[in-house]
Amino acid sequence: MQAGAHAEEASTGGIYTCVDASGRRITSDRPIAACIDREQRELGPTGTVRRVIGPSLTEHEKAVQAAQLRKQQDEANRVADEKRRERVLVARYPNRAAHDAERAAALETVDSVTAVAVKRIQALKEARKAIDAEMEFYKKDPAKAPMKLQREVAANDAEIQEQQRFILSQGQEKQRVNKRFDVELAQLRQLWGTRATEPSVPAGTAAQ
């Protein structure tokens, strides 16, 4: 009986063995269907284990496993991206002075744009004086003023309001700029501190 088994093993080149759900040990010259849900071992001609075959997965189990692998890969990519952003951030702002300088430049840009709007309002108010002078003739009944003059009044009012809304939006933009730089600064403080506490590598260590 043993001789026959050895002959079969020699002819197939390998034997599969496992313990099924009932506790029976099964051997075969091919993967065992009864053990598809559990571990199988492939033995070589000398009885040594060639490989261990894990349980086959159902379509649902394969989908779950694939989703887990994707999640792990996404997390690894996120961590790598975060590390890359941190390196770029420290390279751009090696110290507090560099970060403060860029914050000041960004706020100055907003202030410059705001100043243009303020000057435009001043110009509109100057132009309004001439319009109001003409409207003085119709102050008792402004509806009798010529349509051209009424349109000038409406246009002047509308543009002043538009410039005022713009100035308000620039104030909000300054808040966003400061918030962004505050968040960056908090992160940079940690990165600068980590970099300062990293042990220096003595010259020649890498070569060793």
Three-state secondary structure of 54-76: CCCCCHHHHHHHHHHHHHHHHHH
Of 40, 39, 11, 37, nearest to 27 (Cα)? 40
Domain count, the chain: 3
Instruction: Work out the mean pLDDT of the chain and round it to a whole number.
Output: 87
pLDDT of residue 13: 60
DSSP state of 13: S
- Looking up tokens 């999640």 gives 71
pLDDT of residue 199: 56
Neighbours of 29 (CB within 10 A): 13
Whether 170 maps to a domain, the answer reads yes
Distance between CA atoms of residues 38 and 21, nearest Å: 9
Pairing label, strands 40-43, 49-53 = antiparallel
Q: Are 166 and 145 in contact (CB under 8 A)?
A: no
pLDDT tier at 98, thresholds 50, 70, 90: very high
Rounded average pLDDT over 143-152: 93
Q: Are residues 83 and 151 in the same domain?
A: no
Q: Are residues 176 and 153 in the same domain?
A: yes
pLDDT of residue 101: 97
Of 176, 178, 198, nearest to 90 (Cα)? 198
pLDDT of residue 207: 38
Domain range for 40: 2-53
Q: Are residues 30 and 121 in the same domain?
A: no
